[in-house]
Structure 1
Amino acid sequence: MRKPRDFDAELKALNHRARTLKDRKVKQLGELVIATGADALDIDTLAGGLLAMVAETKSDRKEGLRKAGAAFFRGGGQRETGAGPETDPATTAEAGGYAQPFELKPGEN
């Protein structure tokens, strides 16, 4: 005879797994803020910048931001101190090929 499934235990395990993944995501986002130097900004400025990026509708601008972020990670997480607002993010994205962070590894989904 087959053993009945313990749905309560399975649900509890799934909730624990979801909480663990959420905690990891929050920790990684905090690390990203620190790595980029955004922790030096006041909270209102940081929130406003993030809201502006989320509201961005121009796909070419979003692609430029994505490429700048990819270049940041490929560069080992070091910010360019000489880069000013006139720097084109698309031109800095052609650096080496490190894997991007926040990727789920097999078995983590």
Structure 2
Amino acid sequence: MRKPRDIDAELKALQEKAKQLKVQRTLQLGELVEVTGADTLSIEALAGVLLAAVEQADGKPEAVARWTERGTAFFQVGAKKGGRKGTGNDQNGSAGA
């Protein structure tokens, strides 16, 4: 006969893993803010930009597509060079688009 599974221990391990992943995600978001240069904005301005982006994402899927293209290019080119390429405001993905 097989040994019964310790469901409580498995659940606790999964909860700990979820907690670690949440911490890792938070750290990565902070790193993203820094590498894009958004850390030069005030907290209020950064919050406003993010709120505007979330509002636009609901009604303008084409804006999200442009932002995604721009973000992909940033990680493929800009981040490799250590610079902030592609972070200027233009028609291809600024928060006001």
Q: Give TM-score, length-normalised by structure 1.
A: 0.71
Q: What amino acid is the match of 1:9?
A: A
Residues 51-93 of structure 1: CA deviation (Å, up to 9, x unaligned): 1111112122221111111111111412138x7534545xxxx
RMSD between superposed Cα atoms in Å:
1.9
Matched with 1:71 is: 73
**Identity fraction in percent:** 49
- In structure 2, the residue matched to 1:35 is 35
1:15-37 residue CA offsets vs partner (Å, 9 max, x unmatched): 01101111111111111000001
List runs of 5+ in structure 1 lacking aligned partners.
90-109
Q: Matches of 1:87 and 1:48 in 2, distance apart?
A: 19
Q: Distance in 1 between matches of 2:34 and 2:84?
A: 11
> Residue 29 of structure 1 aligns to which amino acid in structure 2?
L
Bigger fraction of residues in helix: 2
TM-score for both structures, normalised by structure 2: 0.79
Aligned residue pairs total 88
The whole-number CA distance in structure 2 between the counterparts of 1:42 and 1:84 is: 17
Structure 2 unmatched ranges of 5 or more:
none
1:85 aligned residue: 89
